[in-house]
Amino acid sequence: INHDLRVFTILRWLDLPPAERPIVYGLYVEQPDLNGHLYGPNSFKVKSILVYVDELVGKLMDGLKQRNLHKCVDIMFVSDHGMADVSRSRVEFLSSYLTNVDNFELIHGSSARIHPNA
């Protein structure tokens, strides 16, 4: 579903009679996360998609203002993580700091960490 339709759907729900309308609304926008992973967090693609997302939020706010709801609706922007440029030229090796790296488990992913073995 395209983003404009997502915003329009939320605004349409707000037009329903109180007994029929949802209490909580969620709007998922996969950007700028998608472009950040594909092109890097400081890329032109991310900067341009941020303008697009800002315009999308503007459409939501315009719809809330038209319904006189802009001062009584709480909007939360959340994310599952941030982003930063990384460089392969700035690599650190655990063996530079510890004598026996076999005593540690490296856990990869978004919650990467170094965990000592029991």
What are the pLDDT digits (tens) for 58-80? 999 999 999 999 999 999 999 88
The pLDDT assigned to 64 comes to 98
**35 Cβ contact list (under 8 Å, min separation 6):** 43, 45, 46, 49
Instruction: Decide if pLDDT at 118 tops 80.
Output: no
The pLDDT assigned to 111 comes to 82
In the structure encoding, which two tokens stand for residue 88, read together?
Answer: 């392969």
The pLDDT assigned to 5 comes to 98
Q: Are 6 and 27 in contact (CB under 8 A)?
A: yes
Instruction: Decide if pLDDT at 100 tops 90.
Output: no
Name the strand (E) or helix (H) holding 106. Answer: strand 104-107
What's the helix, strand, coil split of the chain in %, to 5? 45, 5, 50
What are the pLDDT digits (tens) for 11-66? 999 999 999 999 999 999 999 999 999 999 999 999 999 999 999 999 999 999 99
